[in-house]
Chains A and B, each alone.
Chain A
Amino acid sequence: MRRTLLASLLIGFSMIPLMVSFAGAQTNFYEGKTVVLVIGAKGAGSLIAATQIVSHHLGKYIPGKPAVIVQEMPGAAHMLATNHVFNVAKPDGLTILAANPQVAVAQLAKVEQVRFDVRKFHWLGSSGPDGVALSVRTDLPYKNFEDIRKADHDLIVGTTGPGSNAHDFPLLLKEFAGAKFKLVSGYPSNGDVQLALQRKEVDVWAALATTIKLAMDQGIVRAVVRGRVATPGFENLPVDEDLATSPLGKSIMGIRGLPLAIGRAFAVPPATPADRLTLLREALAKVLKDPEFLAEGKKAKIDFQYISAEQALKDFTALLNQTPEVLKEMGKYIKLEG
């Protein structure tokens, strides 16, 4: 017994230099290097702002304190950047994808240009889910969704085009929940729709709840319906899936809402060494608890909430696990955005 204990201790102590050298190797690996967060968008937007804030803090939690920068690689609704990180970027732990989980819908829809598999990415976790909400101009008499159902004419919904929250969310409410909507699509951005609301060109607008909240604060709109993810302040609104009048509608709304529940996820290419993957996952988890980071998020009015890598992968797997019938029906309503 004593001999076994002694042997265990000896083996244990002999591992210490190995562990130290392992940690040292990782410290040395990242020291003086630059980690690049690749994002498939450019310009303004809460995803870019959230990624900038994460990049500002990530480096200090990775051993060796590497510099962390954001590289914008816009194109094809984030698919260019996703393809790039999956296929081209070296799996060395220096390139991280700041993903838009909607790309999984492209994979689900078997879009020809998809050259990735979201289930094979190594996910680091997510910096929080995105809630979506539908709102109506405050000068109109529609106080809740029931009023919209009973409206004597179609309300004009301004959208940024198929594939966007602004378009798909009201479209599904129109098709499966009896909302009296006429969709006017093609506005270049959500800012343009908001402007159209102010000049009374459109009546209804759907977007990320954080964006709607800013317009609510200015008295432009009132929110009436939300998606599955409850952003603080929107908890008491009815959920779109509960308003659906058919099981099919409910499932399609559910599929559409899943990427939003995953939110602002980060991933590294397949074949990234396991030790670096662990370091990056731990670093992201620590960033999400950093008080300074959270203060910057609060200032930017972005709600951060840590979602683990396991949870992100579980949600992606669930999203891709659909029956052919549901997929066929879904294809009629949900398209990709460019």
Chain B
Amino acid sequence: MFDALIDGLFLVLQWKAFSLMMVGMGLGFVVGLLPGIGGPATLALMLPFIFKMSPAEAFAFLLGMHSVAATTGDITSVLFGVPGEGLSAATVLDGHPMAKKGEAGRALGAALMSSLVGALIGAVFLALAVPIVRPLVLSFGSPELFMLSIVGISCITSLSGLGTQGQIRGFAMGLLGLLLASIGQERQSGSLRFDMGLMYLWDGLDLIPVLVGIFAIPEVVDLAVRGTAIAGDRPAEDLQKGVIEGIKDTFRHFWLVFRCSAIGVFVGIMPGAGGGVAQWMAYAHAVQSAKNSKEREGFGKGDIRGVLGPGAANNSKEGGELIPTIAFGVPGGGAMAILLGGFLIMGIVPGPDMLTKHLAITFSMVWTLVISNIICVILCLGILNHLAKITYVRGGLIVPFVLFLVFVGSYTANNQIADLIVTFIFGFLGYLMVLLGWPRPPLVLGFVLGKLIETYLFISMTRYGFSWLTHPIVMFLILLVALVIAYPYIQDRRLRSRDVADA
């Protein structure tokens, strides 16, 4: 295996593969800054260019582009509150409030460094997991994947506000998310639900216009109404110092970054679990790390840990998602589905051989993720100061630019005008939610997980009846769900008692 690891590195370091990776990175950097036009759309555009390349060159090119787009996607999330990548919206929650507080530099430094550390930890995990990954993945059948989705949805307790009202609102939004996920053609019988006679809705709502609408539009409206710069009328921060501070934060909270990276890899590895949920689980885990109720309430208002957790999971999941894609032909996400198309063109058959006979190619992909992230972060750190200055530019100049990015990003989801309408509708909904103090993350989590929950529950019941409830992993996950749901209440009591003691 060690030989394959080294061979994989050399495959990437060959001048042609390396040059192509750099070209891919350049493209990824540009599109990463355009909200919504994340990895998948760019990868699809670039597929025709790989015909003349060898597999190692093609994947260096494609993955270099994708991983950089995933990393730089965090930049727009922090600066404008617009999710740069469809699935990386969790960074918005605390990253953008930091920018509003005049800490854009610190948030960007933390997002990028945690992304890098996440990618590295993810790669190490992957390398170590190769011998056991096949039995691990095969031990997770439909019942286990259903329960894993339930673990994900149980994170709503941590993503909602404290107290009874906060929890009720969180669950209500989670249920709304589940309901929205049920729009479109049902997989089991093929019947249409809530399609309103529109073909656009046959495949359900697309995640990107929903996310961009729900998070970006309220920020744009807020900025337009305030009429000030994103950072308000605060005096400019010492940006250089802020970026360095953000980097230091990553290591101050290294254990959290480590755990969130592990969450990203694990969720990414599970075929069908959907890497999109990894960031939200990581964010929920970061929230759980609050030491007292004051700290807990600070999440969503600009806590650095709310940036570090999703940042770390964002890139570690990229490595994790490679596994089901290359070893089982089940793409972990939109970008991986395009990559699978690249496999077909290159004549590579996903399967167990990719973990044995072609392990070097697999490792070359992991190395690409690592190397491109290192280069990207180093280059980005050099320009972060300039990027962060945008938060001090007058709102009137920024709003048209951000709106342009928002609509281009939404439109590229499916190249349909309906995407823009969905963005508007969810923008309005998002604005109302912000205005009335209803949490947005539970809605997203319910929406992302809704289809998975329904699919795997139906398959489990049809295939096993009720006997799946006795599967050992299912039983363990039921306990885990109970723990995740109970944790905020336990934490709440503990925090209160600590607050009393402090007082």
Q: Which A residues form the contact surface with B (CB < 8 A)? A: 42-46, 48-49, 52-53, 55-56, 69-77, 79-80, 83, 112-113, 156, 160-163, 184-189, 191-192, 194-196, 198-199, 201-202, 214, 217-218, 296, 299-302, 335-338
Contacts and interface: CB of A to CB of B under 8 A. Distances in A.
Contacts of B415: 71-73
B328 A76 contact: no
Contacts of A191: 271, 328-331, 340, 350
A186 B338 contact: no
A242 to B, nearest CB: 28
Interface string B29-62: 0000000000000001001100100000000000
A161 B188 contact: yes
B234 interface: no
Q: Chain B interface residue count: which class?
A: 35 or more
Nearest to B187: A186
Nearest to B346: A299
B424 interface: no
A42 B142 CA distance: 25
28 contacts: A45-B344, A55-B48, A56-B48, A73-B415, A74-B203, A75-B202, A76-B200, A77-B202, A79-B199, A79-B202, A80-B416, A161-B185, A162-B190, A189-B331, A191-B328, A191-B350, A192-B271, A194-B330, A195-B138, A195-B330, A198-B138, A199-B139, A201-B463, A296-B51, A299-B347, A300-B347, A301-B347, A301-B349
Interface string B453-490: 00100110011000000000000000000000000000
Interface in B423-451: none
Given A76-B203, A156-B463, A338-B202, A186 B347 contact: no
Contacts, number: 155
Nearest to B457: A186
Minimum-distance CB pairs A-B, first 4: A338-B185, A43-B337, A162-B190, A44-B340
Given A44-B344, A184-B463, A194-B329, A83 B199 contact: yes
A82 to B, nearest CB: 10
A4 B372 CA distance: 76
Contacts of A194: 328-330
Given A80-B199, A161-B187, A43 B329 contact: no
B26 interface: no
Given A301-B349, A302-B344, 20 more contacts: A52-B48, A53-B345, A72-B415, A75-B416, A76-B202, A83-B199, A161-B189, A162-B189, A184-B463, A185-B187, A191-B350, A195-B328, A199-B139, A201-B141, A201-B142, A201-B463, A296-B345, A335-B190, A338-B190, A338-B192
B166 interface: no
Nearest to B144: A199
A34 to B, nearest CB: 12
B210 to A, nearest CB: 16
